[in-house]
Amino acid sequence: MRVNPFWTAAILVVSLYATAAPTLAQRAPESQGDPREAVALSPLEAEKMLTGMRTYLETIQGIVAALAENDTSRVPALAMKSGAKMLEVVAPTTGLKTPMGFSMMSFDTHDKFDKLADKAAKGSSRSELLKDLRDIMGNCISCHAAYRLAP
């Protein structure tokens, strides 16, 4: 049986979070009028996270462009850019600083990009790929509605 590295990483983070988060997590004060949960990271960690979010946007734009041009052959490579492989450069301590829901949504989003890449490689229709992209965007919107980077 082949173990999916995504789920291995997810289980590791959940385990580490459960044991170490109470001592490592920081709860930043609520920004005036902003009820979203704060994600307190160092400036370098925050910049890496924002770079990852920009990669999501670039990936989504590329996929939309490919689908608009009816060129699904470009979708797998584009989607893989935002897949679970992105997590390999994230320090485990960064994951420990984020709320559990944030981490799980991040894992789910990367997994959704990998599944989109697989479906596109297998010849799924534009309509099916757009449904998967819709779900990815739903994660992005939910995350931004629930969380904010702390100053």
pLDDT at 70: 94
pLDDT at 4: 55
Q: Total structural domains in the chain? A: 1
pLDDT at 145: 97
Q: What are phi and psi of 18, to 5 degrees?
A: -65, -35
pLDDT at 18: 46
Closest by CA to 79, choosing from 118, 130, 128, is 118
Q: Is residue 53 part of a domain?
A: yes
Residue ranges with strand state E in 2-149: 37-39, 147-149
What totals of helices (H) and strands (E) does the chain contain, helices first?
6, 2
Question: How many of the other CB atoms lie within 10 Å of CB of 86?
Answer: 19
Residue 135: give its domain's CATH number: 1.20.120
Q: Is residue 99 part of a domain?
A: yes
Q: Is residue 50 part of a domain?
A: yes
pLDDT by residue for the chain (151 residues), tens digit each?
444 555 455 554 444 444 444 444 444 455 578 999 999 999 999 999 999 999 999 999 999 999 999 999 999 999 999 999 999 989 889 989 999 999 999 999 999 999 999 999 999 999 999 999 999 999 999 999 999 998 7
> What's the number of CA atoms in the CB half-sphere (13 Å) around residue 7?
3
**Domain residues for 114?**
41-149
Q: Is residue 17 part of a domain?
A: no
